[in-house]
Amino acid sequence: MLKGILNFAHYLLEESIQKDETVIDATCGNGNDTVFLSKIVGDNGHVLAFDVQDQAISTTKELLIKHSCTNVSLIKDSHGNITQYLSPTRSVIGGAIFNLGYLPKSDKSIITKSESTIAAVNSILKQLKKDGLIVVVVYYGHSGGQEEKESLLKHVINLNQKEYNVMQYGFINQKNDPPFVLAIQKK
Ligand SMILES: C[S@@+](CC[C@H](N)C(=O)[O-])C[C@H]1O[C@@H](n2cnc3c(N)ncnc32)[C@H](O)[C@@H]1O
């Protein structure tokens, strides 16, 4: 059975993240991925969850309370500044997820952008554990989305194959700019 895009993204992370690790939700939005990561790493793990919007931070906070998640640092800042938040004692990252685009049912002008997305991917790759994954769910049907998709693809296609495996997963017969998954594994 083929997995849907979000299920496949979660499946990859479930397979690669271990309990007690430090992991990243680079775009927390409504908090669904944050809760998902929080449960995988458990009470002694740590999730750093980023978003630039107040609405996303408060919605995620509520969801975390509802699910009794106490291992999350919610950070209202761009994931482009991620290195500022990685403590020296917890510097190895077990995995990360990005959901690109805009917050559903919200301001469509606040979108992820290639420059900060690529900067964050590069920062995480430096501290990612061996065999760890960065999983990016690429939505690109919105205004500004094509540019980000193309820049990101160009960047990851050129990652050195001796150091990284890069995979793309998506449904190629779907209409209207269907999202796809990019997964980068550090060798
Ligand atoms: C598609 S939504 C994320 C959905 C979320 N993962 C969920 O489960 O609901 C994309 C989010 O990225 C956020 N965003 C945009 N630019 C950002 C940046 N530079 N750093 C962090 N978050 C950003 C937006 O505010 C928006 O909430």
* CATH at residue 160: 3.40.50.150
Name the residue of 50, 112, 139 whose CB sits within 8 Å of the most ligand 1 atoms, as the mutation to test its pocket: 112
Name the residue of 37, 48, 103, 122 whose CB sits within 8 Å of the most ligand 1 atoms, as the mutation to test its pocket: 103
Q: Is the CB of 34 under 6 A from ligand 1?
A: no
Which domain does 101 fall in, by range?
5-186
Atom of ligand 1 nearest to the CA of 80: 19
How many domains would you assign to the chain? 1
> How far is C-alpha 179 from the geometric centre of its chain's CA atoms?
14
Judge contact between 63 and 34, C-beta under 8 A. yes
What's the confidence (pLDDT) of residue 104?
92
At which residue do the structure tokens 């606040």 appear?
110
Residue nearest (by alpha carbon) to ligand 1 atom 23: 51
Residue nearest (by alpha carbon) to ligand 1 atom 2: 103
Cα(55) to centroid(ligand 1), Å: 11
Per-residue pLDDT of the chain (187 residues; tens, 9 = 90+): 999 999 999 999 999 999 999 999 999 999 999 999 999 999 999 999 999 999 999 999 999 999 999 999 999 999 999 999 987 666 899 999 999 999 999 999 999 999 999 999 999 999 999 999 999 999 999 999 999 999 999 999 999 999 999 999 999 999 999 999 999 999 9
Cα(103) to centroid(ligand 1), Å: 6
Cα(139) to centroid(ligand 1), Å: 11
Atom of ligand 1 nearest to the CA of 117: 19
Q: Is the CB of 27 under 6 A from ligand 1?
A: yes
What's the confidence (pLDDT) of residue 90?
63
